[in-house]
Amino acid sequence: MSIDAGEFLQASVRTATPLALAAYGELVVERSGVINLGLEGAMIAGAFGALVGAGAGGVGAGFAVAVLAGCAAAAVMALVVLWLRADAVIAGTAVTLLALGLTGTLYRAVYGAQGAALSVPTISPVAIPWLSHLPLLGRALFEQPVMTYVLYVIAGSLGWWLMRTHAGLALRATGERPVAAFAAGISPVRVRALALLFGGAMGGLAGGVLVLAQVGTFAEGMSAGRGFIAIAIVVLGRWSALGVAGAALLFGAASQLQYVFQSLGWPVPYQLFLALPYVLTLLVLAGTQRRAAAPAALGTALTEDAR
C-alpha cells in the first residue's frame, strides 16, 4: 500500500494549525518574560467556549466565544502572576487544572451526565483557486480551513511586529530586562498583562479550531496536552516567528507519521515518533549554549524596581 505525500502534508498542516496558533500566542508571552503553563487551560476553555458559542449562534459565534474564554483563563493567570505576584509556573498549573475541571464539570452539567455526542457545525476546507493546484504543497498549504489562512497572516506579521515596531520592541525589552524597560517608560506589568491576554486569545482560538475545524464536538480534556506542546514548539522554534512555524509543522508531521506507518503496516512503534519532538526540543535546548536565544528574563518575576 502506498501513501499519498500530498495527503500526508495536508494532514500535517491541519494538525499543526491549532498547535501553531497557540504557539504564536505563547511566543509573545515568553518574549515578555513569562512561561504560561496556563496555555493548556486557555485551550480547553476555548474548546468549550466554541461548543457553547457555536451551539447558540453558529461557527462565527463559536470562534468569538472561544477567544473570549481563552482570554478569561489568561486574565486569571495575569491577575495571579502580576497582581498577586505569585510564581508563574505554579499559577499556570493551577489555571490549567481549574480550566480542565471547570470545563469538564460544566460540560457534564449542561450537556448531560452521559456527555451525549453533541456535534456542532464545522468549517470545511476552502481551496484557494490557483495556489491549491500547485504540485505537492498546493493542497497542503492552500486547501485548509479558513483559520489556517488566519494563521498564515499572524505568522507572517508577527515577526515583523516583534522586530520592527515600537510595541514589539517594548515587548522584547520587557522580556530581556524589565528594569531597563521600566526605566525607558514602559510598564512591564502592562506589557506582560497584554501579552498574557493575547496568548490566552490565541490559545482559545486554537481550542476553537480543534472543535470547529477538526473534531466537531467537545470531549473532556480534549486539548490533551496540546497547550504544553505549543510551549515546546516555542522553545524548539528558538523564540522566533519563523522557527515556530517550522517546529509546529514538525510536531504536526510527527503525529501524522503514526497513521502512515499503520497504513504501511510497518511494525515501528509510533510512540517513538510522538515522543521524538519532545526529545528534539530537549536536545535543541541543550545544544544551544546557555539559553542564548531565550529572552534573558524568561521565567523571572518582576522585581520592585520594575513595576
Partner 1 sequence: MTTRPDATGSDIVRPDGVRPAAARPDARWVITAATGVVIILAVLGILMAGGYDTPRALAALWNGAFGSPYALFSATLVRATPLLFVGLAVGIAFRAGVLNIGAEGQLLAGAAAAVAVGLAVGAFPSLVALPLVLGAGALAGSAWAGIAGWLKLRFGVLEVISTLMLNFVAAYLVSWLVRGPLQEPTRVYPQTVELAPSVHLPALITGHRLHLGLLLAIGLAVATWWFLTHTAAGFRVRAVGAGIGAARSAGGINPSRTTALVFLASGALAGLGGASEATGVTFALYEGISPGYGYSAIAVALLARLHPLAIMLSALLFGALEAGAAAMQRDANVPSVLASVVEALIVLGVLAFDHTRARGRYT
Residues binding partner 1 (CB under 8 A): 35, 37, 76, 80, 84-87, 89-91, 93-95, 97-98, 100-102, 104-110, 113, 220, 225, 228-229, 231-232, 235, 269, 271-272, 274-275, 278-279, 281-282, 285-287, 289-291, 294, 298-301, 303-304
Q: Using the minimum distance from each CB to partner 1, give the nearer residue, 109 or 153.
A: 109
Total Cβ atoms within 10 A of residue 8: 17
CB neighbourhood size of 135 (10 A):
7
Burial class (CB in 10 A: 0-12, 13-18, 19+), 4: exposed
**Identity of the residue, 61 or 86, whose beta carbon is nearer to partner 1 in the bound complex:** 86
CA angle 201, 204, 205 (to 5 degrees): 85
- State the nearest-atom distance from the C-beta of 233 to partner 1, in Å: 11
Smallest distance from the beta carbon of 294 to partner 1, in angstroms? 8
- Give which of 184, 215, 171, 168 is closest to 54, Cα–Cα: 215
Nearer to partner 1, 55 or 145 (CB): 55
Distance set, CA 245 to CA 17, 88, 279 (Å): 10, 26, 18
What's the closest the beta carbon of residue 144 comes to partner 1, in angstroms? 26
Nearest-approach distance from CB 194 to partner 1, in angstroms: 21
| Minimum distance, C-beta of residue 121 to partner 1, in the bound complex (Å) | 26
C-alpha to C-alpha distance for 73 and 196, rounded to whole angstroms: 10
- Euclidean distance between CA atoms 20 and 27, whole angstroms: 10
- Smallest gap from Cβ 51 to partner 1, in A, equals 16
CA end-to-end span of the chain: 62
C-alpha cell at 29: 508571552
Closer residue to partner 1, CB minimum distance, 124 or 289: 289
Degrees to nearest 5, angle at CA 126 with 250 and 13: 5
Nearer to partner 1, 121 or 269 (CB): 269
Which of residues 213 and 230 has its CB atom nearest to partner 1 in the complex?
230
